[in-house]
Amino acid sequence: MPEILEIIRNAADLRRGVFPALQSIPRLVHLLTTEDGPDLRPDPSGQQHADAMATLAAEMGLSGVAWARQVHGDQVKSVTTGGFQGDADALICGTPGVGVAVRGADCPLILIAGRDAQNKPLWAAVHASWRCTVAGLTTKTLAIMHRDHAARLETMTAAICPSAGPCCYEVGREVQVEAQGRLGSAAAKFFIERDRRLLFDMWAANRTQLIEAGLNAPDIWVAGCCTICGDALFPGYRKDGSAAGRYAAVLGVRS
């Protein structure tokens, strides 16, 4: 049985993560960078970051990649060109040749792709940090895809990338209180008490948001790789501290 997330090597021998479920969509290209680079720590509005994104666009056969300064909020932007987009934690695109990228260490990144009412491809990338998750960013992104882009949500495939998992992601009680305040009492099931620690299952919380928005459960793929206790391929903030790298999840459709 194939892995949910496979690790391959690109032409420059750098390791990349790919979801076979997303590779089955015609002309869709995607990748997850790893510790092999490029370095995505510099200021997202700066030239070094732009150069790293241009390298990824070229690797994927895209004319450009769009990215934003991630601010742990609920702002969603629809983009038609590559380049820096200002502040946002989710990007939506339907312009062939253009990719969207999000970056993370312990935060779940979510790639979504499917079709609109005219059967044209539509895709999005979400930075689902705990604050974004509690703010319902995944739900909001899918609602905007539906409202502004006529997304057929039942055609969408979603991939939840490596992040801090429910095995390790310890949070304070205030996170649970805020989650239940904003997402409703059903959010209680995303919190696990173990050894007097409170653990937040961000994978389950986002999976629920995807299903409640209209995706079919078999079309949601959770990599299941924890950036705290798993191997060192993907950077983790809690594991590596302030020197932690960032990995990117990028997807687009070739023109």
Shortest gap between Cβ of 20 and Zn ion (angstroms)?
A: 23
Shortest gap between Cβ of 164 and Zn ion (angstroms)?
A: 7
Q: Which is nearer to Zn ion, 137 or 202 (CB)?
A: 202
Contact characters 209-238, Zn ion, x per CB under 5 A: -----------------x-xx---------
Q: How many CA atoms lie within 13 A of 90 on its CB side?
A: 27
C-alpha dist (Å) from residue 76 to 68, 70, 73, 234, 249:
10, 11, 9, 25, 16
Q: Which is nearer to Zn ion, 67 or 200 (CB)?
A: 200
> Total number of residues binding Zn ion (CB under 5 A)?
6
- Tokens matching residue 99: 């990719």
Which is it for strands 247-253 and 28-32: parallel, antiparallel or unpaired?
A: antiparallel
Q: Which is nearer to Zn ion, 126 or 228 (CB)?
A: 228
Q: Is 202 in the site for Zn ion (CB under 5 A)?
A: no
**Peptide bond preceding 38: is omega within 30 degrees of 0, i.e. cis?**
yes
Q: Which of residues 160-179 bind Zn ion (CB under 5 A)?
A: 165, 167-168
What contacts 12, CB < 8 A, 6 or more positions away? Answer: none
Cα distance between residue 66 and residue 29, in whole Å: 14
Q: Which is nearer to Zn ion, 76 or 202 (CB)?
A: 202
Binding stretches for Zn ion (CB under 5 A): 165, 167-168, 226, 228-229
